[in-house]
């Protein structure tokens, strides 16, 4: 069963203070243009196919053997929530907005692993594999993604077109309509490609967002 917005908000209050405290309540985004800030819990939707970025505790059968990352067709799935986190070198705090060009990490809420990439080949297309790796206390530069906002926007907002470019490999987070035959639910491959393509575009959709810090 998918987590409710109320359940996600409760999770935020109880679990997401490792990057700095916050005094503002989390809220469910109900309209376009909501700022995405550090500590927010979001789903990322692939623009072209409308599938959500998804992971679960199932390893790849090839490549790195790390936890698999796929595109998932159903909206109401708790394995598609990701926590927006700063990198350790950053002094950013929860509730701060995120500018285009910023390097971030995305932590899978349920398994606590980080969205990751490397030079292993993806299982279907042979592009760069995208996996989940590490835990709360184990993260490296393979978890670093640079936010690139499409158009004139300077800070990340809900339903805004963005690309995520992997820092170590230069690969853009990518998906397409190529499906896994042995994974239930019609899940599709997520991988990295080094060219800008229409299939690189993602949008933050459902989630619970921390309001922009009042101290900004």
pLDDT at 10 over 80: no
Beta-carbon contacts of residue 171 (< 8 Å; ≥ 6 apart)? 117, 127, 128, 165, 191, 192, 193, 194
The H or E element spanning position 182 is none
**In b/e form, how buried is each residue of 27-62, taking b as 16+ CB within 10 angstroms?**
eebeeeebbbbbbbbbbbbbbeeebbbbbbeeebee
pLDDT band at 8 (very low <50, low <70, confident <90, very high): low
Tell me 102's DSSP state: -
- CATH number of the domain at 66, please: 2.80.10.50
Q: Residue range 45-58: average pLDDT?
A: 96
Q: How far apart are CA 158 and CA 5, in angstroms?
A: 16
Decide if pLDDT at 23 tops 70. Answer: no
Q: Using alpha carbons only, how large is the chain's radius of gyration in Å?
A: 16
Residue 60 pLDDT > 70: yes
The most confident of the ranges 57-66, 129-138, 152-161 is 129-138
Structural domains counted in the chain: 1
Residue 216 lies in a domain: no
DSSP state, 199? G
pLDDT at position 183, please? 66
pLDDT confidence tier of residue 210, bands split at 50, 70 and 90: confident
Do the domain assignments include residue 214?
no
d(CA 31, CA 176): 27
The pLDDT of residue 32: 62
CA distance 199 to 177: 10
Q: Which string of b and e fits 120-156 if b means at least 16 CB within 10 Å?
A: bebbeeebbbbbbbbeeeebeebbbbbbbbeeeeebb
19 vs 87: CA distance, rounded Å:
10
| Domain interval for residue 13 | 5-209
Q: Would you say 190 and 48 are in contact if contact means Cβ atoms under 8 Å apart?
A: no
The Cα–Cα gap between 43 and 171 comes to: 20
How does pLDDT run across 88-146, given as a tens digit for each residue? 999 999 999 999 999 999 999 999 999 999 999 999 999 999 999 999 999 999 999 99
pTM of the shown model: 0.87
CB 42 within 8 A of CB 209: yes
Tell me whether residue 68 is in a domain: yes
pLDDT at 28: 57
Average pLDDT over residues 17-40: 63
CA nearest to 69, candidates 158, 202, 213: 202
């Amino acid at each position: 069963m998918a987590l409710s917005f109320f359940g996600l908000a409760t999770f935020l209050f109880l679990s997401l203070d490792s990057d700095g405290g916050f005094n503002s309540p989390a809220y469910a985004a109900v309209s376009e243009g909501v700022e995405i800030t550090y500590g927010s819990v979001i789903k990322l939707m692939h623009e072209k196919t409308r599938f959500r970025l998804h992971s679960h505790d199932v390893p790849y059968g090839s490549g790195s053997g790390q936890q698999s990352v796929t595109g998932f067709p159903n909206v109401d799935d708790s394995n598609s929530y990701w926590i927006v986190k700063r990198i350790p070198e950053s002094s950013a705090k929860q509730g701060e907005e995120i500018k285009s060009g910023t390097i971030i990490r995305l932590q899978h809420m349920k398994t606590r692993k980080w969205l990751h990439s490397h030079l292993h080949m993806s299982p279907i297309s042979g592009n760069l594999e995208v996996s989940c790796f590490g835990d709360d206390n184990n993260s490296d530069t393979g978890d670093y993604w640079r936010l690139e906002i499409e158009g004139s926007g300077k800070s990340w907002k809900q339903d805004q077109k963005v690309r995520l470019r992997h820092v170590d490999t230069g690969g853009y987070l990518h998906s397409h309509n190529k499906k896994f035959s042995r994974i239930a639910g019609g899940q599709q491959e997520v991988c990295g490609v080094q060219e800008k393509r229409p299939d690189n575009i993602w949008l933050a959709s459902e989630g619970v967002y921390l309001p922009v810090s009042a101290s900004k």
